[in-house]
């Protein structure tokens, strides 16, 4: 892949230094970058470092006669295949949303006729402010792709959503926008609903029943399908993971919430139930914190009721059943035997089975058996990202084989 060029606008903020890594990733993939550095951005990263990595002039001033003679802001705004703003500060997004143009960056954004991608970075309270929400909504309505920020600790000491998405995630989104479904979109036109992560079943306002699922495998599968062009809806329980680029997330807490969200996002072509959904929930939720009574003989009886079987509700669906229903079976013994039984009991087309008695839950690797009506496929131990890529390719092959047979 080569011959593509982006115009990178580097906004102000401590995350500006990550633009250097982004340029390096782009160059490694043959994608050229021309840089506009804002006045605030120059407080955190230098034109010299940006220019050295991009191999091009760094533009800074709207009223620089030399710059305007060499590459006027109108030409600059249209000289690339894609305009990327990273980090996209609250100020830059506000200007773009409201059509303001008082510096080189904002003027370029107003003058461009190319797709625009924004990777936000700001304080958690700024990201959650109503004004920012309005501006993001307006930008998206105008056709701008605004990524969801990452969640985590910030330089200001606070924690929450607002961190700049990691350069690799921005890079993947850039590739998807530059090359589109014609090169990466074997599943373009397909809708996939994926569940991921654990659910939490509250006992009282401070305690809940849950499990060790990290959500890594489900998120990786969502990302892999999105890279193939699928419209991916990720129904996710509580995790610490960033939402993958190109994926629409629905965040839930309980199994009941997850069940409702899945039903709301159907019909779909593909359903993959990766989430470790709690089978049981407390019959009642105490209104206040349950107190320790003390004493050796003291104890508590907790009555549980069954949660809805989300996978089965999709697998046996009579109307608008997904064309491919894939379940996950987390087992600690007789993995293949239990997977085959689950395939029939839940109405699945495939079941991805794994042994979770070791370090699979929360770990980086997985070793699976893909069970279907045919001969089971045993995959060697590999990273969860590799499992996801391989499964996504297997799904694309499945649909293309079906289409070829129909012809």
* 343 and 366 housed in the same domain: yes
- Express each pLDDT in 131-187 by its tens digit: 999 999 999 999 999 988 887 776 667 777 888 998 988 998 898 788 764 446 789
DSSP 187-216: TTT-EEEEEESB--EESSSS-EE-----SH
* 153 and 260 housed in the same domain: no
217 in any annotated domain: yes
**Residue 284: other Cβ atoms inside 10 A:** 11
* 3-state DSSP assignment of residue 101: coil
**pLDDT score recorded for residue 180:** 60
* 173 and 190 housed in the same domain: no
Query: Domain tally for the chain?
Result: 2
Tokens read off for 84? 């990327």
**pLDDT score recorded for residue 70:** 55
**pLDDT score recorded for residue 327:** 96
Of all residues in the chain, the percent with pLDDT exceeding 70 is 90
Instruction: Kindly list the catalytic residues.
Output: 156
* 87 and 165 housed in the same domain: yes
pLDDT at residue 66 greater than cutoff 80: no
Range of weakest confidence among 36-40, 190-194, 336-340, 359-363: 359-363
289 in any annotated domain: no
77 in any annotated domain: yes
Structural domain containing residue 56 = 4-179
**pLDDT score recorded for residue 71:** 57
- Express each pLDDT in 231-256 by its tens digit: 999 999 999 999 988 899 999 999 99
**pLDDT score recorded for residue 137:** 92
296 pLDDT band, cuts 50/70/90, is: low
* 269 and 402 housed in the same domain: yes
Q: How far out from the chain centre does Cα 146 lie? A: 13
**pLDDT score recorded for residue 298:** 62
293 in any annotated domain: no
* 324 and 393 housed in the same domain: yes
Q: Of 147, 164, 179, which one is at a domain's C-terminal end?
A: 179
* 73 and 41 housed in the same domain: yes
User: For tokens 């890079």, what's the residue?
Assistant: 171
Backbone phi, then psi, for 119, in 5-degree steps?
Answer: -110, 100
Q: Of 144, 179, 214, which one is at a domain's C-terminal end?
A: 179
CATH of the domain at 32: 3.40.50.1950
């Amino acid at each position: 892949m080569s011959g593509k060029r982006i115009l990178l606008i580097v906004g102000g903020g401590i995350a500006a230094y990550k633009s250097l890594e982004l340029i390096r990733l782009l160059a490694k993939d043959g994608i050229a970058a021309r840089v506009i550095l804002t006045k605030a951005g120059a407080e955190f990263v230098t034109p010299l470092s940006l220019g050295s990595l991009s191999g091009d002039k760094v533009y800074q001033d709207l009223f620089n006669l030399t710059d305007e003679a060499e590459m006027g802001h109108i030409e600059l705004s249209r000289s690339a295949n894609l305009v990327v703003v990273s980090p996209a500060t609250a100020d830059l997004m506000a200007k773009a949303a409201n059509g303001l143009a008082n510096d080189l960056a904002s003027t370029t954004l107003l003058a461009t006729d190319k797709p625009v991608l924004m990777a936000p970075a700001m304080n958690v309270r700024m990201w959650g402010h109503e004004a920012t929400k309005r501006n993001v909504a307006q930008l998206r309505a105008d056709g701008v792709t605004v990524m969801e920020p990452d969640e985590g600790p910030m330089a200001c000491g606070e924690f929450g959503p607002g961190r700049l998405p990691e350069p690799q995630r921005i890079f993947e989104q850039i590739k998807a926008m530059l090359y589109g479904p014609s090169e990466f979109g074997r599943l373009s036109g397909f809708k996939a609903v994926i569940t991921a992560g654990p659910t939490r079943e509250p006992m009282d306002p401070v305690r809940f029943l849950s499990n060790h699922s990290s959500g890594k495998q489900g998120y990786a599968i969502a990302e892999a399908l999105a890279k193939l062009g699928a419209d991916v809806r990720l129904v996710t329980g509580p995790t610490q993971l960033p939402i993958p680029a190109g994926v629409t997330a629905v965040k839930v807490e309980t199994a009941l919430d997850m069940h409702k969200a899945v039903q709301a996002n159907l019909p779909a072509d593909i359903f993959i139930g990766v989430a470790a959904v709690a089978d049981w929930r407390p019959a009642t939720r105490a209104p206040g914190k349950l107190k320790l009574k003390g004493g050796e003989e003291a104890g508590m009886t907790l009555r549980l009721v069954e949660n809805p079987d989300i996978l089965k509700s999709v697998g046996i669906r009579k109307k608008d059943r997904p064309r491919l229903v894939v379940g996950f079976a987390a087992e600690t013994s007789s993995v293949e035997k239990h997977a085959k039984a689950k395939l029939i009991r839940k109405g699945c087309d495939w079941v991805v089975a794994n042994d979770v008695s070791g370090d699979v839950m929360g770990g980086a690797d997985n070793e699976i058996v893909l069970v279907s009506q045919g001969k089971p496929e045993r995959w060697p131990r590999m990273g969860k990202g590799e499992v996801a890529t391989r499964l996504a390719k297997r799904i694309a092959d499945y649909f293309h084989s079906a289409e070829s047979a129909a012809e």
